[in-house]
Amino acid sequence: MSAFVIETLIKILVLVLVFSFLGAFATYLERKVLAFFQRRLGPVYVGPWGLLQVIADGIKLFSKEDVLPQNANKIIFTFAPIIAMMSAFISMAPIPFFGDFTLFGHTIKPIISDINVGLLFFLAVGSVGIYAPLLAGLASGSKYSLIGAARAAIQLLSFEVVSTITILAPLMLVGSLSLVAINDYQAGGVTHWLVFKQPLAFVLFLIASYAELNRTPFDLLEHEAEIVAGYATEYSGLKWGMFFLAEYAHLFAFCFVIALIFLGGYNPLWFIPGGIAIILKVCFFVFLAMWARATFAHVRPDQLMQMCWKIMMPLALLNVAITGVIILL
């Protein structure tokens, strides 16, 4: 029992450290990708190819003055970025990042907890993250932050409904909410990937995921052209950094889940080992998110809600109905 507890604690520590680093490095990577699309250089001065820019940004965030607005609710204002971080990292508990491997004669499962409702846990804990921008906006004492909080409640709740309904169709085929079981269902090769059996669910879930992550063109929570920085307007220093570190950590988590559900997860891909295969899939989805940010313009709130409720929701329900009929036949 003690060995299990120690192993679990080590896994949690590794997960937090790795994804904290990846979240920080993703800021550099995104700036480079956006610079490539916009024909400019991006970070180049700090270190070779600007790689040390991440360290420079980290030093700035840690040393910058932590400003607390006069009219803010100080307790809730401080607690909001913590909720964002907790939601992002706790939601990773049921995600199998790789297949089992042996180290010094001991079999290691690269998953914190393989529960039989892993996907439901991921969606549920991830949805708790809505309280971060909501409470931040309400507690800041700023009209711009309040607008961002209102948009958070509308946008995130709407797309959580769509993503949950969309994922029902693949689950009807698999018959399990465990992400390990979903991965194993696709073990027969590329032709067994759920993306070919559920292409509509894949597209809808991908769009809904990017919307839940507050990624451009869906970043209405912090639309800098309209509301300065939305819910994060009054934040500075480390608290501000925690919001965006959580956003990138959640991006990696969603990319792992999408790869596990639709693209065969960590099953071997031809001659490519499973561990490398899932990393390549996740890198593709992260790049796709950055590509979308560089390509598409912002959408208006009414356009976003129209797309959600009048297009994506009917398509998701139709896909579930068709899948049910096919299974019965």
Give percent of the chain with pLDDT exceeding 70. 98
In sequence order, the β-bridge partners of residue 202 are none
DSSP 269: B
Mean pLDDT of the chain: 86
The predicted pLDDT at position 166 comes to 93
Which carries the bigger pLDDT value, residue 50 or residue 99?
50
Q: What is the pLDDT of residues 156-184, one digit of tens each?
A: 888 889 999 999 999 999 988 889 889 98
Q: Where are the alpha helices (DSSP H) in 167-236?
A: 168-174, 179-185, 194-197, 199-212, 224-227
The predicted pLDDT at position 294 comes to 85
Residue 277 makes CB contacts below 8 A (sequence gap 6+) with 264, 266, 267, 268, 269
pTM for the model stands at 0.90
Going from N- to C-terminal start, the domains of the chain cover: 69-328
Give the distance, in angstroms, between the CA of residue 325 and the centroid of all CA atoms in the same chain.
Answer: 32
Other Cβ atoms closer than 10 A to 270? 7
The predicted pLDDT at position 279 comes to 92
Handedness of CA 262, 267, 268, 270 (dihedral sign): negative
pLDDT band at residue 202 using 50, 70 and 90 as cut-offs? very high
Which carries the bigger pLDDT value, residue 107 or residue 308?
308
